[in-house]
Amino acid sequence: MSTELDYSFAAMGSEIRLLIGERLVAGAPPPLAAADREREFVLEFGRRLSRFEPASDLSALNHDPRPVVAAPPLLRTAVRAGLWAAERSGGLVDPTLVRALEVNGYAHSLRDARPASLREALAAAPVRRAAAPNPRSRWEDVTVDDARGTVARPPGVMFDTGGTGKGLCADAVAVRLAAYSRFVVDCGGDIVVGGVGAQLRPYAVAIEHPLTGRSIGSIPVAGGGIATSGLNVRIWRRPDGGFAHHLLDPSTGRPAWTGLVGATALAGSALEAETLSKMALLLGADDARRILAPQGGLIVHDDGEVEPIGRVAAELSTNRPTAAPPLVLG
Amino acid sequence: MVTDRVTVALLSLAVFLTVLALLGAQLRSAAAHAPAHRVVVVRRIYRTTVIETVRGGAPGGPSVTQSVSSSGGAVSGAAAPATRTS
């Protein structure tokens, strides 16, 4: 007899889903109680790290005129995650592009907004080219001091945890679910799979096509992170009639049109997978293949063509996604 | 008197053993004429998955589903998780 809890709710402008197996440790709460606990954690995570909430810790940091600001542990961790992603990507996943996002029209939450047509946006988009880091970006001037409990940055430099927040949140929840036989933490598509049960019988994780919304196929994931970046959800029309989306080229401060509309990455954590998928999408197909090859991934070209890379090329099942066949022992 | 009782008991036992011997002989005879049967053991493993919605539907509240599988393996009742643009 085995049981699994399937628990979903809305938070951080996305749907959050938890799949939790049986508890391995007697002292651990039942899965439903654990899910309720994690829901509270995720809701608080979103409230405190949203740049759209005036009362959030992140807004307090962004609007504080002092160069050094007291910051609680969760905010410091989120800032560290953003800096980690920037370093990992050589500055391509830049957490200090808040003003550029606002200039392009992303000054408020798009949670309830209907996305513009990606196909129309692609037809109107400029010549495709790879994005590049901004050598004058200030993210390297941001520092975190855990001993003093502060974050230092040049006044006026605003920080956005939106690019890495969901991955970080998924990783944090996964750590808290270590006492269960198997689990999936899905923070708006940034997914962590864990538990010894998942190693014995991997989850089949489906990958959604950014143009059609249908499943491309599924791959077995026994542990670690998987994330997708794409242009299809946070895309809007500007007042001048042009299109914009939230993945900016740091070198120009404008939306990146690289020839890719989606990228999926596998990695050791959701934070790393999120970072790799963004890098792949921002750099275009040639570099995406290089970046995704070691741990596996998938890119979707402007014309909708799907290109699996690395282990995904070998393991992608294009059948209707179902659970993997049972493992037979003995 | 005692001799009569013993005689009756011995006679009863003799009748019983005779009937038993006749039945045994009949059974052997039937078995000898019956065709040889192959014995096939069919094992059926039933798997039961129960998907029970515990609660949900309140605005902003969680949607909760509990899946139970009797197979001992992982539960396959839930939809596969999907990675997507967030």
Per-residue three-class SS string for A248-312: EECCCCEECCCCEEEEEEEECCHHHHHHHHHHHHHHCHHHHHHHHCCCCEEEEECCCCEEEECHH
> Which of residues A226 and B71 earns the better pLDDT score?
A226
Q: How far is CA A253 from the centre of its chain?
A: 20
A11-40 residues touching B, CB cutoff 8 A: 14, 17, 19, 21, 32, 35-36, 39
**Residue A154 C-alpha, separation from nearest chain B C-alpha, in angstroms:** 30
**Is the CB of B83 less than 8 angstroms away from the CB of A218?**
no
What is the average pLDDT across A59-83?
97
**Is the CB of A190 less than 8 angstroms away from the CB of B82?**
no
Residue A155: other Cβ atoms inside 10 A: 11
Over residues B3-27, the pLDDT tens digits come to 788 999 999 999 999 999 999 999 8
Helix runs in A89-230, H state only? 98-103, 118-124, 162-176, 196-200
For residues B47 and A302, the answer to whether their CB atoms sit within 8 Å is no
Over residues A248-266, the pLDDT tens digits come to 999 999 999 999 999 999 9
**How does residue A276 score in pLDDT terms, banded at 50, 70 and 90?**
very high
**Is the CB of B67 less than 8 angstroms away from the CB of A6?**
yes
Question: Would the pLDDT of A83 be above 90?
Answer: yes
**Residue B52 C-alpha, separation from nearest chain A C-alpha, in angstroms:** 10
**Residue B62 C-alpha, separation from nearest chain A C-alpha, in angstroms:** 5
Task: Name every residue whose Cβ is closer than 8 Å to that of residue A318 and which is 6 or more positions away in sequence.
Answer: A216, A217
Question: Would the pLDDT of A311 be above 60?
Answer: yes
> Among partner residues A32, A182, A234, which is closest to B64 by beta-carbon distance?
A32
For residues A260 and A292, the answer to whether their CB atoms sit within 8 Å is no
Instruction: Give residue A68's pLDDT.
Output: 98
For residues A118 and A231, the answer to whether their CB atoms sit within 8 Å is yes
**Residue B38 C-alpha, separation from nearest chain A C-alpha, in angstroms:** 28
Considering A50-54, A65-69, B72-76, the range whose residues carry the highest mean pLDDT is A65-69
Which one of A1, A3, A4, A110 would you mutate to disrupt binding with B, by most B Cβ within 10 Å of its Cβ? A4
> Among partner residues B66, B74, B76, which is closest to A182 by beta-carbon distance?
B74
**How does residue A15 score in pLDDT terms, banded at 50, 70 and 90?**
very high
Sheet of strand A215-221, all strands in order from the earlier edge strand to the far edge: A215-221, A203-208, B82-83
For residues A255 and A244, the answer to whether their CB atoms sit within 8 Å is yes
How much is the pTM? Answer: 0.82
**Residue A8 C-alpha, separation from nearest chain B C-alpha, in angstroms:** 5
Report the share of chain A in percent with pLDDT over 90. 87
**Is the CB of A205 less than 8 angstroms away from the CB of B73?**
no
Residue of A nearest to B66 (CA): A5
Instruction: Give residue B29's pLDDT.
Output: 84
Question: Which ipTM was obtained for this model?
Answer: 0.84
Over residues A214-247, the pLDDT tens digits come to 999 999 999 999 999 999 998 999 888 899 999 9
**How does residue B62 score in pLDDT terms, banded at 50, 70 and 90?**
confident
Question: Would the pLDDT of A329 be above 50?
Answer: no
Residue A107 Cα distances to A100, A160, B36, angstroms: 10, 12, 85
Instruction: Give residue B12's pLDDT.
Output: 92
Residues in chain B closer than 8 A to A196 (CB atoms): none
**How does residue A112 score in pLDDT terms, banded at 50, 70 and 90?**
confident
B62 Cβ under 8 Å from any chain A Cβ: yes
**How does residue B51 score in pLDDT terms, banded at 50, 70 and 90?**
low
Across chain A, what does the average pLDDT equal? Answer: 93
**Is the CB of B69 less than 8 angstroms away from the CB of A17?**
no
Residue A132 half-sphere exposure, CB side, CA atoms within 13 Å? 7
> Which of residues A81 and B86 earns the better pLDDT score?
A81
**How does residue B30 score in pLDDT terms, banded at 50, 70 and 90?**
confident
Task: Label the pairing between strands A203-208 and A183-187.
Answer: unpaired
Question: Would the pLDDT of A177 be above 60?
Answer: yes
Backbone angles phi, psi at A173, to 5 degrees: -65, -40
> Among partner residues A189, A193, A321, which is closest to B85 by beta-carbon distance?
A189
> Which of residues B34 and A182 earns the better pLDDT score?
A182
**How does residue A325 score in pLDDT terms, banded at 50, 70 and 90?**
very low
